[in-house]
Structure 1
Amino acid sequence: MTAVGQMFALGLEVLRQLLRRPFQYRELVEQFWFVASVSILPSMLVSIPFGAVIGLELGSLTAQIGAESFDGAASVLAVIQQASPIVTTLIIAGAGGSAICADLGSRTIREEIDAMEVLGVSPVHRLVVPRVLAATSVAVLLNGMVSVVGVAGGYFFNVVMQGGTPGAYVASFAALAQLPDLWVSELKATFFGFLAGVVASYRGLHPRGGPKGVGDSVNQSVVITFLLLFLVNAVITAVYLRIVPAKGM
Structure 2
Amino acid sequence: MGMRVAQPMTPVAAAFHQVGRVAALLLDVLGAAPRRPFPVREFLHQAWFFASVTILPTALVAIPFGAVVALQLGSLTQQIGAQSFTGAASALAIVQQASPLVTALLVAGAGGSAVCADIGARKIREEIDAMQVLGVDPVHRLILPRVLAAMVVAVLLNGLVSVVGVVGGYVFNVLVQGGTPGAYLASFSALAQLSDLGISSVKALLFGLVAGIVAADRGLNPAAGPKGVGDAVNQSVVITFLLLFLINVVLTGVYLQLVPPKLV
Q: TM-score, normalised by structure 2?
A: 0.93
Does 201-210 or 70-79 show the bigger shift? Answer: 201-210
The match for 2:203 is 188
Distance (Å, rounded) in 2 between the aligned partners of 1:211 and 1:186? 36
Q: Which has the larger Rg?
A: 2
The match for 1:27 is 42
Distance (Å, rounded) in 2 between the aligned partners of 1:15 and 1:47? 32
The match for 1:66 is 81
Deviation at residue 248 of structure 1 after TM alignment: 2.0
- Matching residue within 91, 94, 97 for 1:76: 91
The match for 2:67 is 52
Distance (Å, rounded) in 2 between the aligned partners of 1:202 and 1:178? 37
Deviation at residue 130 of structure 1 after TM alignment: 0.3
The match for 2:133 is 118
For the pair 1:12 / 2:32, whether they are aligned, the reply is: no
Deviation at residue 131 of structure 1 after TM alignment: 0.2
Distance (Å, rounded) in 1 between the aligned partners of 2:91 and 2:253? 19
The match for 2:5 is none
The match for 1:144 is 159
Deviation at residue 176 of structure 1 after TM alignment: 0.5
Distance (Å, rounded) in 2 between the aligned partners of 1:232 and 1:76? 21
The match for 1:104 is 119
**Aligned-pair identity (%):** 69
- Matching residue within 220, 224, 231 for 2:235: 220
For the pair 1:229 / 2:239, whether they are aligned, the reply is: no
The match for 2:53 is 38
The match for 2:175 is 160
Counterpart amino acid of 2:38? F
Q: What's the secondary structure of 1:148's corresponding residue?
A: helix
Q: What's the secondary structure of 1:23's corresponding residue?
A: coil
Deviation at residue 209 of structure 1 after TM alignment: 2.5
Distance (Å, rounded) in 2 between the aligned partners of 1:216 and 1:128? 20
- Matching residue within 208, 222, 229 for 2:223: 208
**CA RMSD across the alignment:** 0.8
Deviation at residue 21 of structure 1 after TM alignment: 0.8
Counterpart amino acid of 1:200? A
1:46-90 Cα shifts (integer Å, max 9, x gaps): 111111110000001111100000000000000000000000010
Distance (Å, rounded) in 2 between the aligned partners of 1:132 and 1:3? 18
Counterpart amino acid of 2:150? A
Q: What's the secondary structure of 2:66's corresponding residue?
A: helix
Deviation at residue 6 of structure 1 after TM alignment: 0.6
Deviation at residue 224 of structure 1 after TM alignment: 0.5
Q: What's the secondary structure of 1:13's corresponding residue?
A: helix
Superposed structure 1 runs of 4+ greater than 4 Å apart: none
Q: TM-score, normalised by structure 1?
A: 0.99
Counterpart amino acid of 2:147? V
The match for 2:8 is none
Counterpart amino acid of 1:40? I
Q: What's the secondary structure of 1:22's corresponding residue?
A: coil
For these two proteins, the number of residue pairs brought into alignment is 249
Distance (Å, rounded) in 2 between the aligned partners of 1:22 and 1:206? 27
